Amino acid sequence: MADEEGTSLQDLYKNILRDGYSEGGHVFSGASANFIAGAAAGCTTLILIYPLDIAHTRLAADIGRSNVRQFRGIYHFLSTIREKDGIQGIYRGLPASLQGMIVHRGLYFGGFDTIKEILSEESKTELTLWKRWVVAQAVTTSAGLLSYPLDTVRRRMMMQSGLEQPMYHSTLHCWKTIYRTEGVSSFYRGALSNIFRSTGAAAILVLYDEVKKFMKWGGL
């Protein structure tokens, strides 16, 4: 759902950037417009759904029998955190999440469009479906690996919501603590499974590309 919303927003931001003019021509064009639009779309989506994202992450770790769980559901989690920590508690870990989103979505959306445009210009024809899927898979895997340390910090910060004594005082403190106590490898714990999961994200890029072609062909 977030990926589908992101693709629509990315097109909106890209059109805004490319339709804007300065004295020298377009304000942004080509790769810069693609990457900025991708990052902006990802950040916009994240801010809108962040309360649900943090609730999902926190509730997934709240295991055990119903009578011993800390939270009974999404509404109970959000209302409890708001009463205890205020709005900032619901948005705990947002800076780290935004940093990761800029890197990941900038490469995910921007990289796909940029490489696709370059290859299309070189071949003078539209890329075939399998070539676009290869590009999408390469971009998705690269974006996931480069942004994974930021995602690790994001999840660690999220997991502190509702705790009496948080382990990390800030995003920077979280980075330092993980590095000093667990080493660099801890930032990439679980990265392999994330690579396998990226196949679905790559399919979304290609599918959305096909839908746009169909809508353009149908005059929608």
Report the pLDDT value the prediction gives residue 179, as an integer from 0 to 100: 95
Q: State which residues of the chain have pLDDT below 70.
A: 1-6, 19-29, 62-68, 217-220
Report the pLDDT value the prediction gives residue 67, as an integer from 0 to 100: 60
Report the pLDDT value the prediction gives residue 28, as an integer from 0 to 100: 61
Report the pLDDT value the prediction gives residue 23, as an integer from 0 to 100: 46
Report the pLDDT value the prediction gives residue 186, as an integer from 0 to 100: 94
- Residue labelled with tokens 């392999």: 192
Report the pLDDT value the prediction gives residue 170, as an integer from 0 to 100: 87
Report the pLDDT value the prediction gives residue 143, as an integer from 0 to 100: 93
Report the pLDDT value the prediction gives residue 65, as an integer from 0 to 100: 55
Domains for the chain: give ranges and CATH numbers: 9-18+27-189 (1.50.40.10)
**Which three-class secondary structure string do you get for 47-71?**
HHHHHHHHHHHHHHCCCCCHHHCCC
Report the pLDDT value the prediction gives residue 172, as an integer from 0 to 100: 92
Report the pLDDT value the prediction gives residue 149, as an integer from 0 to 100: 94
Say if residue 35 is exposed, middle or buried (CB neighbours under 10 Å; 0-12, 13-18, 19+): buried
Report the pLDDT value the prediction gives residue 142, as an integer from 0 to 100: 93
- Residue labelled with tokens 């805004």: 16
Residue 107: partners with Cβ closer than 8 Å, 6 or more residues away: 35, 38, 139, 142, 143, 146, 147
The length of the chain in residues reads 220
